[in-house]
Structure 1
């Protein structure tokens, strides 16, 4: 499999745009599936791809892949980066491609509502949790350094910041108290790297005391080296729903690939790398032992309060405008005021 990292993918955009490329495989490479994904998906896809290649639909298929910060990846595809499937951190990054005429308007009209994977926001902490970070209030204590990616480029950053904001609403607060909390939160930021994977690298390299992360990313890090971190599931978290879509002229092989990703077999493989199975097939997936989870035999305990983007924030159209508009977004302004 050929993997293209984000920098190379973005550098290629200008050349690809000039050639009119930007959708899917040509007739000469119909057995090649081009995947453009968000940064932390890389390792998780490897096992799912291998299993698909062992099915009748996947026989003879090869994958070409590009991974990076979700917003950057979406802009790269809009600018010409070749893709059959996009598997991105959040819905607006796919909507950009609908607006560009590359993805059909009905991409969400299916049993998974356009998602291929899901997770929740957790606190990754130093081994043994020496600063006893358990709650959202602990993140704003003096001397606690927070690592979370930058929402200007990263989808995971938006999930993280909304989880932090929503934690105050979940405990009976309102917009005013949530904004007061976020001022303290931003004051404790130690680093805001470009992507979720870059944030993990910064944290494991010694930056900060707590990393806001996808649960699956924390589990994956512990699978490779349990001494790197522990993680805490806070009382209030946010369901992370990762969007996927086929480009308009994607091949039949790409369509079969996406169906396999969403199947019970595909979701079990994703679960083994730390993703929570999609609701549509969770019962069929059944119990999964997950190496690297804090409790491998019970890897996906439910938070006391699990927020969702649709129920608690009015959906991504509303949330993006209210919180992340580049001029007037609540969180954009608070981040700028903090000098982050």
Structure 2
């Protein structure tokens, strides 16, 4: 069983001086299923710190296992039987799939941060020196510019990328004084023109960055926090945060059905609570995730650029509307991909 590590002693060691050796305490285990991007933050900093803190407070040894994959794929895996006790996904619509599947049964959006553990923004990564002169979204549609972002069919990050492009198009259209219908058409057209330049659509945001690091593409559309740490480490990239971009909101929740069945609800809830605290939020921020803890956010206020035309999913009408507008059968991204496929 994955859940409990039982230490079996040999028959010869069961008795010493006719006295039975006391049973070794169980080590409880928790499985965190998360989207691929925050892997380093969890594994290098957050999980070891929580395990140590839990041991100091309770005397109990615990083990947190991890599973990382593209957000949409991760949600489907949990629905299909992956025994995750906590789900940390890229976007609300993926977590809502677990709600619809009766895996998450509590109101996960309760609380001051509405179930959002970290935020980020969609940004652009270009080669050192910015040889193609990329400054804004329209530059991604220019002839000869090769663009990377993953597939929205598997990646939550890709959905954020597409939403950023479309939402930016709406903002730009309205800035030009276009009526709503014309602004929507401009946004759809911008998305189609950029999609025409997309060279590769990988399965996840992390795979897309790996492709970019192999030298493919002139510009990558991705999370700010995928690029900033690499640039700090000396990678030959530059980070561009467009004036018009979307606030990425990353949700987390205890997976009720699994946590209850595995008898680790107390541990799962404590871990999620820890992630909202200052220690974990600082760790996230040091890996370039924007903290949702207000006091932590103030400490890092000068670290993160605030785009002047930042917008949210709520401003675009909420997830149901956005999904239908962009990714449904008649959605702008869906139609753009289908039209380009027919053209080739």
Band of TM-score, shorter chain:
0.7 to 0.9
User: What is the Cα deviation at residue 219 of structure 1?
Assistant: 1.6
Aligned length: 305
**What is the aligned partner in structure 2 of residue 318 from structure 1?**
321
**What is the distance in 2 between the residues matched to 1:50 and 1:166?**
38
**What is the aligned partner in structure 2 of residue 158 from structure 1?**
159
**What is the distance in 1 between the residues matched to 2:32 and 2:229?**
20
The aligned runs of 1:122-271 (5 Å cut-off) are 122-171=123-172, 172=174, 174-223=183-232, 225-249=233-257, 250=259, 251=264, 252-271=266-285
User: What is the Cα deviation at residue 330 of structure 1?
Assistant: 1.9
Q: Deviations over 1:89-137 (max 9, x none)?
A: 1111111111111101511122211111110000011112121211111
Please point out which of 31, 39, 43 is paired with 1:42. Answer: 39
Q: 1:61 to 1:220 in 2, by over 3 A?
A: farther
**What is the aligned partner in structure 2 of residue 333 from structure 1?**
335
Q: Deviations over 1:250-302 (max 9, x none)?
A: 22111111101011221111000000111xx23345324xxxxxxxx932010
**TM-score (norm: length of structure 2):** 0.84
Q: Deviations over 1:39-98 (max 9, x none)?
A: 112111121112212324585221111101110110000000010100001111111111
User: What is the Cα deviation at residue 31 of structure 1?
Assistant: 2.5
**What is the aligned partner in structure 2 of residue 32 from structure 1?**
29
Q: Is the contact made by 1:264 and 1:285 (CA closer than 8 Å) also made in structure 2?
A: no
RMSD: 2.1
SS in 1 for 2:289: coil
**What is the distance in 1 between the residues matched to 2:296 and 2:41?**
20
Flag the structure with larger Rg. Answer: 2
Identify unmatched segments of 5+ residues in structure 2: 7-25
**What is the distance in 2 between the residues matched to 1:237 and 1:132?**
19
SS in 2 for 1:267: helix
Please point out which of 273, 278, 303 is paired with 1:299. Answer: 303
